[in-house]
Structure 1
Amino acid sequence: MTDVAEPTAEIDLHAEIERLRAQVAVLTARAETAEALADHDVLTPALNRRGFMSVLSRSMAYCRRHEVEAALLYLDMDGFKGVNDGLGHAAGDAALMAVADLLLANVRESDAVGRLGGDEFALLLMNAGADEGREKARRLSEALETEGFVWEGATVALGGSFGVRAYAGQTDPEVWLSEADAAMWLRKKAR
């Protein structure tokens, strides 16, 4: 009778191990999904502020160590309140998604795009200095105006003000972001 019980116990043990392995795989996948969601914007395909600041911090360390250029662009959409007020919040959401798609389509894989909140975005351009950053901002500004976004069959123009700040040895990502933000406000006021 002991010989019969041992194979059954062994089979039960193997079944339990397989069940636990499957459960671990499911939990691992959930954890990976949760981690990805923690760094990505809930509305757009861009990084959220937390994710962008993490990338910015790592990139600054890389720039310092390897003496690599980088440019930070800060975008504040112009007229976004008018889209929300005039066309509704669903149109505002569509505009934000269109802007994120446009920005992501116009950067390299080594670059990063984040939605910082509301209608503000940031772009990190690696291996690019101030001149390249300003040129990228000019081209993106033109694309926002000409491409806009489609809402209920009509193309709605968008606009934005960009601030550009090259990496100059900053050690705090919040300081660098504030510098790009300040440059954006100077540009916005000059208009």
Structure 2
Amino acid sequence: MSDKHPAKDAVGDPSELLAEIERLRCQLAQYERRFVELDRLANRDPLVDLPNRRSCLASLARLIARVDAYGIQAAMILADVDGLKAINDKFGHNAGDTAIKQISRLLVASVRKHDCVARLAGDEFAILLEHTDELQAWLLALRIVETVDEHPFHIGKANVPLSVAVGVTLICPRDHPEAVIERADREMYRIKAIRPRK
């Protein structure tokens, strides 16, 4: 008669089973960390750790849906950094990156915690404003222009002036994210054409 334990034979060595469970837990944790990292890479700008264009478009689509469903007021500010190419050409791309970081900090500090500041492209930022009418959005946009103007940007011993051009648009029911950005962009270039250069 065999002295083997049937239950033990069915499940195998308990220590081996526990080791396998632990291995699978570690593997799952690695996959979860990798997923978080891939999600960050897909949705965050690596230089300034703000939402990127892809993430901004998704947030804008959700905001349009809330405007559509609840009739709230919302707006978007588009901010374009003036003279970034000149900084890159004269002082190098590291200096340009530092300028972008400074601008992003100033933008984030200028808005409410629940507002969304995103980097759309090299020198373009978008700010999504919920429960905000057109006048409030323009007042904030002009305050941002003044804030950037008043903050010196130093490269070594050189004091390099930074400025931003801004455009504002309301977000309408049944709007499309790209259409919102295009309207703000057109408004920004209209303002840029009439604003005196520093």
CA distance in 1, matches of 2:173, 2:185: 17
TM-score relative to the length of structure 1? 0.92
Structure 2 residue aligned with 1:100:
104
The question of 1:56 aligning with 2:56 is answered: no
The question of 1:115 aligning with 2:106 is answered: no
Partner amino acid, structure 1, of 2:29? A
Offset of residue 155 of structure 1: 4.3
Structure 2 residue aligned with 1:167:
171
* SS at 2:144 equivalent: helix
Structure 2 unaligned blocks of 5 or more = none
Offset of residue 157 of structure 1: 2.1
Cα contact 2:64–2:172 (8 A) shared by 1: no
The question of 1:42 aligning with 2:46 is answered: yes
CA distance in 2, matches of 1:17, 1:153: 59
1:13-43 CA-to-partner distances (Å, cap 9, x unmatched) read 1210121012101211210121022111121
* SS at 1:2 equivalent: coil
Aligned residues: 191
CA distance in 2, matches of 1:186, 1:32: 40
Offset of residue 177 of structure 1: 0.8
Offset of residue 153 of structure 1: 5.4
Q: Where in structure 2 are the equivalents of 1:137-156 lying within 5 Å? A: 137-152=141-156, 154-156=158-160
Partner amino acid, structure 2, of 1:140? I
The question of 1:179 aligning with 2:190 is answered: no
Give 1 or 2 for the bigger CA radius of gyration: 2
Structure 1 residue aligned with 2:4:
2
CA RMSD, Structure 1 to Structure 2 (Å): 1.9
The question of 1:125 aligning with 2:129 is answered: yes
The question of 1:29 aligning with 2:33 is answered: yes
Structure 1 unaligned blocks of 5 or more = none
Match of 1:16 among 16, 20, 38: 20
CA distance in 2, matches of 1:44, 1:149: 17
TM-score relative to the length of structure 2? 0.89
* SS at 1:113 equivalent: strand
Percentage of identical aligned residues: 36
